[in-house]
Structure 1
Amino acid sequence: MKTTLLVTVALISSLILVESCGSVKSNSNQPKTSESRSISLFNGKDLAGWYTFIKDRGRDADPKQVFTVQNGMIRVSGEEYGCITTNEEYSNYKLTVEFKWGQKTFAPRIDNARDNGILLHSTGQDGGYSGTWMHSIECQIIEGGTGDFLVVGNGSDKFALTSNVAPKKQGRGNVFMPGGQPLTINGGRIDWFARDPNWKDVLGFRGEKDVEKEAGKWNKIECVAEGDKIDIYLNGVLVNQAYRVKPTRGRIQIQSEGAEMFVRKVEIQPLAAH
């Protein structure tokens, strides 16, 4: 009996970790996925299943090789703004991306925080937003702000989300807070729960409570898109949540926005039927 009790306690402890900032994470809260149906969107050899779109160049025109595959990794050079986009649309899934920052940065963001992103539920025309990206819901990847939500929309309610936020802004942003006040946006952003209120757009920025690892180390970001909800986990920590998300399906884009980044895994797991 005593041995059984110790094993039970150990199992519970492994599922629930209390963060130093007071948040509680539990990977057991994630919807169940079907492991046998997991889909690798990157084969480690080439960009099969994706196409490139570069600002002012268009589709499948990448003369500077902003997007290449090297040593089993996708290299995003950052030299020009653009993205790789999946050929297929997806809905109701868990997307896992493993990434790390490189060393190079480019104008106009040479001295700014390293910045890219994953665009979910991307629909409409290539380059529909700023001549560069499809309209979409962005999971931000930026030093100090990885896990922020952005609505890369067209100003209509066709691209929108609702999140529970703290009663007062921290710094200049609305910050995700479980149990907070609902806020609906069709543009702009919702910051992850512990984004440093003194964040500055400078190269190498690190916040006191950052979950993202320092530049050069691998991070795992998981976007769980279930119906009209999206949860974002960074290195196992739930950092942001949205609901009443519009749209609820679309292509996936990975951005190039001035900073070198490497990606070694892009995988989708369809959510198991309820």
Structure 2
Amino acid sequence: MHPRRRSIRSIALGLIAAALGAPAALALAADEAIDVTEGGEAIVLLHEGDLENWTVFVDPRTEPYSPESSTEGIFTVEDGVLHVTGERFACLTTTDAYQNYRLVLEFKWGETRWPPRAEAKRDSGVLLHCVGPDRIWTKSIECQIQEGDCGDFYMVGGTSLTVGGKAQTGGRFVKTTDAEKPNGEWNTIEVVCDGDRIVNIVNGTVVNEGTASSETAGRILLQSEGAEVFYRNVKLLPLDR
């Protein structure tokens, strides 16, 4: 069980969204987010054989599409490993919002790529502090997961961040160094979210650090963007202060 239950209002939002057939509930406000450090316990987000803590959204503009088959097979979990086929532009988003945590996960690239990115860099992403309705690029701060670009910041949906003394709304901040392992090997991504500060760490190397984030709490999202990718050991840890 999470260290702090969601508020009655947040549960009501989810029930309303489900009743209306919405793809997912609206994001929880910052004052409703689970404070992982305050709770003092690790939260395992990816369990052995299910996606209990996640909602699925598939971009209806990608083919083939029907309400009955929109989520089938894109995200599957076996022996604690999440397999993302990448065939459709889609995303997994946590049902709860979080703040003040160290996100730790491992990923590795698969072999398959799909149009329109069959010849492009393999691409995915971890979107932090997601607010608003589910989209492939929900309003958030993204820690980029892409071949050669792991740890870049993207300010999605009008969010802002300050990196190296430069404040910016939207766009990208490139990582300071490339710490990604060769394709096929597992990489460890850590993202420290401490108030309005975000630090991206790739395989133990700090590659990007931002402050004055316009968002400080929200849901967490994993993307399917035309490339096969695997995730495992996805968890949130309290900050060591």
With normalisation by structure 1, the TM-score equals: 0.69
Larger of the two Rg values belongs to structure:
1
Q: Cα distance, 1:105 vs. partner?
A: 0.4
Q: Which residue of 2 aligns with 1:255?
A: 223
CA contact (8 A) 1:153 1:186 kept: no
Q: Which residue of 1 aligns with 2:57?
A: 53
Instruction: Specify whether residues 246 and 70 from structure 1 end up closer, same or farther in structure 2 by C-alpha distance, changes over 3 A only.
Output: same
Matched to 1:38, the amino acid is A
Extract unaligned runs of 5+ from structure 2. Answer: 1-36
Q: How many pairs were matched up?
A: 201
Instruction: Specify whether residues 145 and 136 from structure 1 end up closer, same or farther in structure 2 by C-alpha distance, changes over 3 A only.
Output: same
Q: How many angstroms apart in 2 are the aligned matches of 1:235 and 1:144?
A: 13
Extract unaligned runs of 5+ from structure 1. Answer: 1-32, 165-181, 195-209
Match of 1:146 among 150, 157, 162: 150
Q: Does 1:189 align with 2:197?
A: no
CA contact (8 A) 2:58 2:71 kept: no
Q: How many angstroms apart in 1 are the aligned matches of 2:137 and 2:69?
A: 15
Q: How many angstroms apart in 1 are the aligned matches of 2:99 and 2:166?
A: 23
Q: Which residue of 1 aligns with 2:70?
A: 62
Q: Does 1:94 align with 2:77?
A: no
Instruction: Specify whether residues 60 and 248 from structure 1 end up closer, same or farther in structure 2 by C-alpha distance, changes over 3 A only.
Output: farther
Q: How many angstroms apart in 2 are the aligned matches of 1:120 and 1:60?
A: 29
Instruction: Specify whether residues 191 and 65 from structure 1 end up closer, same or farther in structure 2 by C-alpha distance, changes over 3 A only.
Output: same
Matched to 2:174, the amino acid is D
CA contact (8 A) 2:152 2:208 kept: yes
Q: Which residue of 1 aligns with 2:163?
A: 163
1:7-18 equivalent positions in 2, closer than 5 A: none
Q: Cα distance, 1:265 vs. partner?
A: 1.2
CA contact (8 A) 1:224 1:230 kept: yes
Matched to 1:148, the amino acid is D
Q: Cα distance, 1:267 vs. partner?
A: 0.4
With normalisation by structure 2, the TM-score equals: 0.79
CA contact (8 A) 1:92 1:226 kept: yes
Q: Percent identity?
A: 43
1:1-274 equivalent positions in 2, closer than 5 A: 37-56=41-60, 62-127=70-135, 132-154=136-158, 159-164=159-164, 182-194=165-177, 210-272=178-240, 274=241
Q: Cα distance, 1:65 vs. partner?
A: 1.5
Q: How many angstroms apart in 2 are the aligned matches of 1:151 and 1:242?
A: 11
Q: Cα distance, 1:58 vs. partner?
A: 9.7
Instruction: Specify whether residues 44 and 137 from structure 1 end up closer, same or farther in structure 2 by C-alpha distance, changes over 3 A only.
Output: same
Q: Cα distance, 1:133 vs. partner?
A: 2.8
